Amino acid sequence: MQDVNTNAEAHASATILVSGRVQGVYFRKFTVDNATELGLTGFAKNLPDGRVEVVAEGKRADIEKLLGLLGEGPSHAAVKDLDVNWSSYSGKFTDFRIHR
């Protein structure tokens, strides 16, 4: 039987808007640390409306792991909602960083 490329192994991109108490609580640093550990690329940035935007690229399964971590957030955060928009992998990022 041949190995079949599963969705978990497929590369994808996700734009995640995180709402709640997510600014001023090290949320972006938490995101960078966890995304880097998962081998993802992209960025995290604060938005003027108080949310944090995260763009993550890599294996879909690893992005889904990141989503679980973002739903919890660092100890002083209070995450209310994750709005996720999946798209095709672009490969345009070389690392994961805080975008200012």
User: Is 100 marked active-site?
Assistant: no
Q: Among 5, 21, 34, 46, which one carries the catalytic annotation?
A: 46
Judged by DSSP in three states, 41 sits in: strand
| Cα(57)–Cα(39) distance, integer angstroms | 9
Q: Among 5, 7, 21, 28, which one carries the catalytic annotation?
A: 28
Neighbouring CB atoms inside 10 A of 87's CB total 11
User: Is 21 marked active-site?
Assistant: no
Longest dimension (CA), the chain: 52
Distance of CA 51 to the CA centre of its chain: 13
The DSSP 8-state label assigned to residue 10 in this structure reads S
The catalytic site residues sit at 28, 46
